Amino acid sequence: MGKVLIIGAGGVGTVVAHKMAELPEVFSEILLASRTKSKCDAIAGRIGSKNLKTAQVDADNVPQLVDLIRSFQPDLVVNVALPYQDLTIMDACLETGVSYLDTANYEPLDEAKFEYKWQWAYQDRFRKAGLTAILGCGFDPGVSGVYTAYAAKHHFDEIQYLDIVDCNAGNHGKAFATNFNPEINIREVTQKGRYWENGNWVTTEPHEIHQLLTYPRIGEKESYLIYHEELESLVKNFPTIRRARFWMTFGQEYLTHLRVIQNIGMAGIQPINYEGKEIVPIQFLKAVLPKPEELGVNYTGETSIGCRIKGVKNGIDKTYYVYNNCSHEAAYAETGTQAISYTTGVPAMIGAMMYLQGIWKNPGVFNVEEFDPDPFMRALNLHGLPWYELHDVNLEFD
Ligand code: NDP
């Protein structure tokens, strides 16, 4: 039994609140807090649990966070606001002596750069305070790291090649929309590609490398090599990896819109002066795009996210593919959000459960693959994200 404070009331926050409210034996009291309290109230109204309360907080403001944490006294803070808030929330956790979990690594507002260095720098402070920080506990990052740890524990003596493959074969019926926060999503997919090979990072132009990959129950989809944050922690935690890459599917429509958005300057992250007021183009764009949490209603199709791994077991080369497929319709029927929010929110809930049950509870700052993957993998099957394994199959890579 534990008390948890969720910060952020978007698509992911909605799923986390839903899933936690279903488990009162684990999450005895839940406080959902965000910048706009009416959004928290609307979510709580739909869930209708007496264990779920709401509050307003500006998570950029450490004293406000500290006051809220002191008044509620949670065992854990689950950060599903934006990556910009990671450090202020970690600071507030240290000041109040509470553990921390998030789903995306810190990013400075004025620089589209994904690196763990800022959060890893909290290692000594969390360890000395006896607190746990669990970083990147969504699907990718999150389940992608747990899958890799599970493969290393059970199926390989040495992992050599890791390809994380992320396919969204859903259709939301809109000309252009992003599946999670538009600002974070566009910053992520427009940056240069990057992958790990033989001890070095190799940089590519955005979307330069692509190939057709076949996804279970979906079929062939053009998949693009992009940089994704878990590559940084996975190559550190599994040093036998010779090459690690991340692939994501994009439709032609989506890429065309993205190119136009970039070409006309709407993806800009530096403020411009518009009629005497400073605005950031990408933040203005976010305001006019469909909201991720509202995409679910007509969303059809499935996501398929997994790890394709090649390595050695007992001196013999082997391949392994572990994945989950998630239906947008089923996610919507259960929580009122689409599969991207669902596949992020469920692992965040499971990570929180692992912490409250004392299973993932070491002092310090950790990426998910540093913990025992087995209890987490069991929980995925029980809470809506079942996984499947294929052994010694063609991984479609050289
Ligand atoms: P949304 O934009 O839908 O929701 C973000 C929420 O955070 C909103 O409720 C917003 O409030 C709130 N928020 C923003 N700034 C503040 C602040 N200063 N103080 C308090 N609340 C604030 O995003 P998503 O739900 O789609 O994504 C949430 C997180 O999940 C993001 O960090 C995203 O990167 C991550 N993510 C991780 C994935 C993974 O697999 N690991 C996949 C998808 C997302 P308001 O409503 O007022 O704007």
pLDDT tens track for 100-144: 999 999 988 877 778 999 999 999 999 999 999 999 999 999 999
Whether residue 350 is contained in a domain is answered as: no
Domain check: are 163 and 258 in the same one? yes
Reported pTM: 0.96
Which CA distances in Å does 79 have to 65, 90, 93, 229, 247? 12, 9, 11, 17, 26
Domain check: are 192 and 113 in the same one? no
Q: What is the mean pLDDT of the chain?
A: 95
Is residue 10 in contact with ligand 1, taking CB distance under 6 Å? yes
Q: What is the CA radius of gyration of the chain?
A: 20
Is residue 57 in contact with ligand 1, taking CB distance under 6 Å? yes
Is residue 92 in contact with ligand 1, taking CB distance under 6 Å? no
Confidence band of 184 (pLDDT split at 50, 70, 90): confident
Domain holding 63, by residue range, is 2-135
* pLDDT for residue 111: 76
Ligand 1 centre to CA of 219 (Å) is: 31
Whether residue 81 is contained in a domain is answered as: yes
Is residue 103 in contact with ligand 1, taking CB distance under 6 Å? yes
* pLDDT for residue 294: 81
Distance CA 83, CA 113 (A): 11
Ligand 1 centre to CA of 105 (Å) is: 12
Closest Cα to residue 184, out of 275, 289, 263, 272? 289
Percent of the chain exceeding pLDDT 70 equals: 100
In the block, tokens 């978007």 appear at 10
Domain check: are 107 and 186 in the same one? no
Whether residue 270 is contained in a domain is answered as: yes
* pLDDT for residue 54: 98
Ligand 1 centre to CA of 228 (Å) is: 18
Distance CA 366, CA 134 (A): 5
Whether residue 56 is contained in a domain is answered as: yes
Domain check: are 207 and 99 in the same one? no
Which CA distances in Å does 207 have to 188, 204, 258? 12, 8, 11
* pLDDT for residue 188: 82
Of 115, 135, 155, which one is at a domain's C-terminal end? 135
Of 92, 110, 135, which one is at a domain's C-terminal end? 135
Per-residue tokens: 247: 């692939």
Domain check: are 300 and 330 in the same one? yes
pLDDT tens track for 338-388: 999 999 999 999 999 999 999 999 999 999 999 999 999 999 999 999 999
Distance CA 307, CA 57 (A): 37
Domain check: are 120 and 186 in the same one? no
Nearest ligand 1 atom to alpha carbon 343: 40
The CB-side HSE value for 149 (13 A sphere, CA atoms) comes to 22
Distance CA 349, CA 126 (A): 21
Domain check: are 22 and 74 in the same one? yes
Whether residue 364 is contained in a domain is answered as: no
Is residue 323 in contact with ligand 1, taking CB distance under 6 Å? no
Whether residue 368 is contained in a domain is answered as: no
Nearest ligand 1 atom to alpha carbon 12: 25
Of 135, 167, 190, which one is at a domain's C-terminal end? 135
To test the pocket of ligand 1, the residue of 35, 86, 90 to mutate (highest count of ligand atoms within 8 Å of its CB) is: 35
Nearest ligand 1 atom to alpha carbon 13: 25
Nearest ligand 1 atom to alpha carbon 82: 32
Is residue 68 in contact with ligand 1, taking CB distance under 6 Å? no
CB 225 within 8 A of CB 245: yes
Instruction: Tell me what the mean pLDDT of segment 78-91 comes to.
Output: 97
pLDDT of 96 > 80? The answer is: yes
Is residue 142 in contact with ligand 1, taking CB distance under 6 Å? yes
Whether residue 11 is contained in a domain is answered as: yes
Domain check: are 197 and 92 in the same one? no
Domain check: are 158 and 306 in the same one? yes
Domain check: are 159 and 114 in the same one? no
CB 236 within 8 A of CB 224: no
CATH (domain of 58): 3.40.50.720
Number of structural domains, the chain? 2
Domain check: are 147 and 118 in the same one? no
CATH (domain of 218): 3.30.360.10
Is residue 281 in contact with ligand 1, taking CB distance under 6 Å? no
Nearest ligand 1 atom to alpha carbon 184: 34
Instruction: Tell me what the mean pLDDT of segment 68-88 comes to.
Output: 97
Distance CA 326, CA 343 (A): 7
Whether residue 261 is contained in a domain is answered as: yes
Domain check: are 69 and 174 in the same one? no
